[in-house]
Amino acid sequence: MVIIASQVLLAIDVGQRDSTAIVGGLGATARWVAVNMTPLAWVGFLLVTDGLLGTRSPARTRPRRFAVCFVSGVGVWLLFDWVNFYFIHAWSYDGLDAVGAVHGWVARFVAFGAISPALFMTAELFQRLGLARLRGPRLAIGPRVRLAMLITGVPALLFPLVVQRPIGSLTLWVGVVLVLDPLNHRFGGRAQPTLIRDWRNGRWGRTVSLMAAGLTCGVLWEFWNYWALARWTYDLPFLGPLEEYRLFEMPLPGFLGFPPFALECWVAFQTVLLVMRRVGMPFVERPPGDDSVL
């Protein structure tokens, strides 16, 4: 209902944008929703996924883990924003001048915090629809391969900082996995979930579910962003003529970045949990099984 109400009010605001003034309380409410569409829609989406997952929803069964995921997700996205706004300038935010500073930061906190939980709750849905049983080849990922991943990942992370152009976003969405997953695997012990451990055991469900969740959420992010007043836009000139072929604000090739982005968010979350355990903060609940995402 949150999503439906927000969508209806957003449509009302779109219809009044050609007029010289906002009409009445309904018009003012519609304008407020148009400015806050992203946090509103994603709160609604989290409620939808929680309802679909039911009594086994991580938000209910592992609330502390969910809260850490939400808060740490803000930090993860602020790091990506830092790389973008100080170095590559691949995306920008428009319409934030329509709200005050406190309002703006509260909206950012809710919108940024919802990113990782939305990805992981959606991946949980894909897991429970059958992908958890997906098996494939067992990859021989030994110490040398993990070292090669790490050595490849460091320049991938440094490339955006060095090139300082939008093309740096090409490696931004893979470098975190290449660097952090081998470190998680090395220092987390046998109980630490990692992509590497999944791949070595031939368990591909979590990887595929996360990538499917990334693409699903990516399309929804762009859909709810397109008509909002406070929104993001892209500048990706390295795509050449392909930049003109867009679905909502995103050039079509850009959607290929959402699946690895979901893997990055999950690996970064595992790193946060590992660090918390290492510094003596083991209050976060353990996942119920080897196939759990959140």
Tell me which DSSP letter residue 256 carries. G
| Position 101 confidence tier, pLDDT thresholds 50, 70, 90 | confident
Q: Which uninterrupted H or E stretch holds 288?
A: none
User: Which SS3 state, helix, strand or coil, does residue 62 take?
Assistant: coil
Rounded Cα gap, residues 270 and 86, in angstroms = 26
pLDDT of 147 above 80: yes
pLDDT, mean of residues 176-183: 94
| Position 108 confidence tier, pLDDT thresholds 50, 70, 90 | confident
User: Which SS3 state, helix, strand or coil, does residue 90 take?
Assistant: coil
pLDDT at 158: 94
Percent of the chain with pLDDT over 70: 98
CB 117 within 8 A of CB 69: yes
pLDDT at 286: 86
Question: How are beta strands 246-247 and 250-251 bridged, if at all?
Answer: antiparallel
Rounded Cα gap, residues 157 and 168, in angstroms = 9
pLDDT of 21 above 80: no
Tell me which DSSP letter residue 242 carries. G
pLDDT at 23: 65
Phi, psi of 284 (to 5 degrees): -80, 135
Alpha helices in the chain (DSSP H): 2-16, 24-35, 37-53, 58-61, 63-83, 101-113, 115-128, 143-163, 169-187, 195-200, 205-226, 258-278
Segment 73-91, tens digit of pLDDT: 999 999 999 999 999 999 9
Q: Which of 123, 256, 253, 279 is nearest to 195 (CA)?
A: 123
The dihedral region occupied by 89, where left means phi > 0, alpha psi between -120 and 50, and beta the remainder, is left
- Distances in Å between the alpha carbon of 238 and those of 87, 162, 165, 251, 283? 15, 16, 9, 11, 45
CB atoms within 10 A of CB 127: 23
pLDDT at 280: 81
Contacts of 95 (CB under 8 A, 6+ apart): 35, 228, 229, 230, 231
Phi, psi of 231 (to 5 degrees): -150, 175
pLDDT at 287: 84
Segment 49-70, tens digit of pLDDT: 999 999 889 999 999 999 999 9
Can you read off the two tokens belonging to residue 183?
């470190």
CB 290 within 8 A of CB 193: yes
pLDDT at 20: 62
